[in-house]
Amino acid sequence: MGKTVVLGLSGGVDSAVAARLLLEAGYTVYGHWLDIGLGGREDAAAVADSLGIPFSTGDIRDDLEREVMAPFRADYLAGRTPLPCARCNPTVKFPALFRRAEEVGADLVATGHYARIAETETGETVLCRGGHANDQAYLLARLPKALLPRLVFPLGSYEKVQVRQLARNFGLPAADKPDSMEICFIPHGDYAAWLEQQGQVPPPGDFVDRTGKVLGRHKGIHHYTLGQRRGLGIPAEHRLFVSELRPAENQVVLSDGRDLMADQVWGTDWNPLAPLPQGQAVTVRLRHSKTETPAHLTLGQDGPRLNLLAPARAPTPGQLAVLYREDVVLGSFWITGARRVPQ
């Protein structure tokens, strides 16, 4: 192929195998490690050295704080459940990789995401799902459409277990390195503790039911999300679930869960990635899971709105609604609200 690509090289198994596959496909590869202030450069440099590719670093700490970490804190204070990876990709990670591409004159940018870039019969470049078990196209659905022709995802047709085996076959130093944490800037995985360390958390308050009856005390609304059952610590005759967060009153509303089903979802900031099929239902993923729901999308002056053809459980403000037609990602929007199915 002879093309030049800048690869986001984390030091983990996915980006390491992606680098080797790119080299085998004839690309000239530049490895670029993004510094978030938590170390890890040595692992990425070792991968680059083992493959004989140029290696550089980029400091994204300020961008990460402004574009991802500050909104993350604000979302929890406002009773929303943020999705930082989906926010980071279009605002921090990929812009940093494209800046490096401009510096070295690279045509393309690549990462170790499990997603695919394809071309339709009409010549349009589209984002598609990756391997079923590890599909990460959901987290890339906020990328601008204009960037798609310049992206390469070498792992798009692989499953994680295959990538691990390839790393061993290739003799890569990252072959048996554990998978990275879900939120890169919270390495211990305890987001509530991280928020408390930041010194910006709401105080404890009341658990209440739908009638306003106080059921007990909660630890702060940042500990809870819609549909949550575990960790409530409230004795009851039946299971209790988080049904609503009321930041203004500092209340967490609990119910038996029957009121969590929704038949409409709306939001803001529609990001189109492919033409919408006229008059046909699409499928929508409302959280980072494999569950999808058939729906019709309306784009009006008040923003995107989904009419769900089957009720969905606990659509959550702050999460992402991603629309698909078969494997193609059609677009996405940030969820701001939902209509509950009447009981």
Q: Which CATH class is domain 260-340?
A: mainly beta
Cα-based angle 51, 152, 182 (whole degrees, multiple of 5): 80
Q: What is the pLDDT of residues 233-286, one digit of tens each?
A: 998 889 999 999 999 999 999 999 999 999 999 999 999 999 998 878 899 999
User: Could you tell me the sign of the dihedral formed by the alpha carbons of 200, 203, 209, 211, in that order?
Assistant: negative
C-alpha–C-alpha distance, residues 79 and 282, integer Å: 29
Residue 307 carries which side chain, given as an amino acid letter?
N
- Would you mind telling me the total number of residues written for the chain in this entry? 343
pLDDT score, position 2: 65
pLDDT score, position 1: 47
Q: Do domains 4-170 and 260-340 have the same CATH topology?
A: no
Does 88 qualify as catalytic in the annotation?
yes
Q: 56 to each of 53, 65, 95, 100, 114, how far by Cα in Å?
A: 10, 21, 15, 9, 23
The domain locations on the chain are 4-170, 202-256, 260-340
C-alpha–C-alpha distance, residues 77 and 67, integer Å: 16
* CATH classification number, 202-256, choose in 1.20.1290.10, 2.30.30.280, 3.40.50.300, 3.40.1190.20: 2.30.30.280
With contact defined as beta carbons under 8 Å apart, do 108 and 296 qualify? no
State the architecture of 4-170 in CATH terms: 3-Layer(aba) Sandwich (3.40)
C-alpha–C-alpha distance, residues 207 and 242, integer Å: 9
pLDDT score, position 209: 96
pLDDT score, position 152: 98
C-alpha–C-alpha distance, residues 42 and 322, integer Å: 36
pLDDT score, position 334: 98
Q: List, in order, residues 6 or more apart from 176 with CB less than 8 Å away.
A: 13, 164, 167, 168
pLDDT score, position 279: 77
Does 85 qualify as catalytic in the annotation?
no
C-alpha closest to that of 17 among 129, 168, 121, 134: 168
Instruction: Number of helices (H) and strands (E) in the chain: give both, helices first.
Output: 8, 17
Residue of 13, 22, 36, 88 marked catalytic = 88
On the 0-12 / 13-18 / 19+ scale of CB atoms within 10 A, 80 is buried
Residue 273 carries which side chain, given as an amino acid letter?
L
Task: Count CB atoms within 10 A of the CB of residue 2.
Answer: 7
pLDDT score, position 191: 87
Residue of 110, 184, 226, 308 marked catalytic = 184
Q: Which residues does the chain have with pLDDT short of 70?
A: 1-2, 132, 181
C-alpha–C-alpha distance, residues 236 and 154, integer Å: 50
